[in-house]
Structure 1
Amino acid sequence: MAIDPAAAKCGVLADMPGQKPSKANKPEKVSSTILGAAAEHYVMCQLLRRDMIAALAPTGVPNCDIIVSDKLGSKVAAVQVKARRAIGADGGWHMKAKHETIFAPLLFYCFVDFGLGLSDAPQCWVIPSTEVAEAISQSHAVWLSSPGKKGQARNDTEMRRLMPDYSHQGLGRGKGWLDPYKEAWTLIKGAAAT
């Protein structure tokens, strides 16, 4: 197979099946701000495609990125979007301590995974905020109560992780616990329509 030198320079080789990225063909780093904006637009696109009225929230709105409404505007749901690329060891998304206390019946999180490169189709998990708050709160409590690498007590931090597998913590959220939420756009549509 002939390889286009321009494609190799842009990192396209990292996207070829069966080929591991090397430093020479590793995809370029994308800023977290741009990745976050891409995720917000991706989620909004998916909502609009499913006949929901969706718009980006104004900059600075603290707990949501997208507002979703029924066609009459009588019911509104809020969506917070989190983005990642498939480059971390645990496959999770960064969260903060504040997310343990941000939950409401009409607030949802959309966790977008863009994969390794441009040839990977984005995947999204639509999860009610109550489930997210519970998962990260329990996970952090287990982490905080367990000893560090040298047996020392851990120091509390603002960082939290929503992970696809908490089985190492014994939380009942093992591999596959996110499966019911994958592309579960109907959760938002149902909430905005009731």
Structure 2
Amino acid sequence: MVAASTVLGAAGEHYVMCQLLRRGLIAALAPVGVPNTDIVVTDDLGDRLCAIQVKTRLEKGSDGGWHMGAKHEQIASDLLFYAFVDFGRSLTDPPRCFIVPSQVVAAVIRQSRQTWLATPGKNGASHKDTDFRRFLPDYDKMNIRFGRGAGWLDPYLENWAQIETSANRTTPPEA
């Protein structure tokens, strides 16, 4: 049987593919095993490619974030974006997708880890470093304060124009 997380991840990738294709971009799933890329994107001329890594979640847990790893602190490229898909609590909830440049993700993951390590834990004990990271819509909620509180992700919500511009397309296709 296929793991639920694998199916959820595939659903997120296909949702992002749908949004890109609706905007007239050429998008394809990257071959299995390609590091840091789930979808490759270009315009109809094939002039320029960009890549997207998709992170998908359901509205479970208390922090509202996405799983990341230590490697994401170092992955930054002008042509790499993350699509953070939130499918909500039920099948009737509309998906929400945050399109965030990889440089922003790397910086936020790095800053949040440094802030968390510098913040005392239970009974004043130091936090122990791990490879586990979280990309959150509100770090203040988790007492990780570095200027990324509620609403900091709002400018990235459904901001597909970044990818259209990156793929040399400034306006959506005619309907």
Q: TM-score, normalized by length of structure 1?
A: 0.82
Letter in 2 for 1:192: A
SS across alignment from 1:59: coil
Partner of 2:155: 180
Mark the runs of 5 or more structure 2 residues left unpaired by the alignment: 170-175
Partner of 1:63: 36
Identity of aligned residues (%): 58
String of CA shifts for 1:29-60, please: whole Å, max 9, x gaps: x7110000000000000000011100000000
SS across alignment from 1:154: coil
Aligned ranges 1:17-166 → 2 under 5 Å: 31-166=4-139
Partner of 2:164: 189
**Greater relative CO (CA pairs within 8 A, separation 6+):** 2
Mark the runs of 5 or more structure 1 residues left unpaired by the alignment: 1-29
Partner of 1:170: 145
Which structure's CA Rg is the greater one? Answer: 1
Q: What is the CA-CA distance between 1:71 and the residue it aligns to?
A: 1.0
SS across alignment from 1:150: helix
Q: TM-score, normalized by length of structure 2?
A: 0.91
SS across alignment from 1:121: coil
Letter in 1 for 2:91: L
> Which deviates more, 166-175 or 75-84?
166-175
Letter in 2 for 1:190: T
String of CA shifts for 1:51-102, please: whole Å, max 9, x gaps: 1100000000011100000111120000000000001101111100000000
Letter in 2 for 1:45: C
SS across alignment from 2:164: helix
State the alpha-carbon separation in 2 of the partners of residues 166 and 156 from structure 1: 18
Q: What is the CA-CA distance between 1:178 and the residue it aligns to?
A: 0.5
State the alpha-carbon separation in 1 of the partners of residues 84 and 96 from structure 2: 8
State the alpha-carbon separation in 2 of the partners of residues 61 and 83 from structure 1: 18
Q: What is the CA-CA distance between 1:166 and the residue it aligns to?
A: 1.9
String of CA shifts for 1:10-39, please: whole Å, max 9, x gaps: xxxxxxxxxxxxxxxxxxxx7110000000
Letter in 1 for 2:153: L
String of CA shifts for 1:143-164, please: whole Å, max 9, x gaps: 1122221322221101111101
Q: What is the CA-CA distance between 1:169 and the residue it aligns to?
A: 2.4
Q: Structure 1 residue runs of 4+, over 3 Å off?
A: none
Q: What is the CA-CA distance between 1:170 and the residue it aligns to?
A: 2.4
State the alpha-carbon separation in 1 of the partners of residues 149 and 126 from structure 2: 25
